[in-house]
Amino acid sequence: MGKFELILETDMVCMFSPKYDGEEMSEFENFLLANNAHVHPQIKRSFDAIITAIDKMRETGACERYFRPEGGNVKAIPLYISFVRVNRKVGKLRLYCLRLSDKILILGGGAVTTAQKNEDDPVLLRFIDDLRDIDQRIKRIVKQADTNFEDFVALKRIIETITL
């Protein structure tokens, strides 16, 4: 069980993150704590790109152009980063999100991985599966409420009151 914690609210976007019972921090806060101190330049650059993308969304909203598609509404940040040479042994950093609209984004968890596919990394797969489950629950409630994802006020109210 849990609920969504409001991470950021501007005129352009509301960002939430799951916070499960018994946890002191939300999934996004756990991601920040676990990944903000990486010293390897490749991981540091990815982390900085994630923070920069989230910062841009404050003013522009959660536009599709900021995300890597991961299937349905589940997305990943950063989109793409150009490196002179990617060291596959070091891995890549991803933050997984549930993009419901330009105005509503759910920030999940993420981690560094060296796997080629998300399915090959059980940690990343858990974050993705959790977001897919949340997406299905929200879709059911939106349908029952006879509204849609473009109705910002109704969708925000659903997210603020849903129990995870």
Could you read off the pLDDT of 44-91 as tens digits, one per residue? Answer: 989 999 999 999 999 999 999 999 888 889 999 987 665 556 677 788
C-alpha atoms less than 13 angstroms from C-alpha of 63 in its C-beta half-sphere: 11
The whole-number pLDDT of residue 81 equals 61
Please state whether 31 falls in left (phi above 0), alpha (psi between -120 and 50) or beta. alpha
Q: What is the DSSP string of 85-133?
A: S--TTT-EEEEEEEE-SSSEEEEEEEEEE--SSGGG-HHHHHHHHHHHH
**Region 17-41 average pLDDT:** 94
Position 94 scores a pLDDT of 93
As for how many domains the chain has, the answer is: 1
- The answer, yes or no, to whether residue 148 has pLDDT greater than 60, is yes
Lookup: tokens for 85: 């040479």
Domain that holds residue 146: 2-161
pLDDT score recorded for residue 92: 87
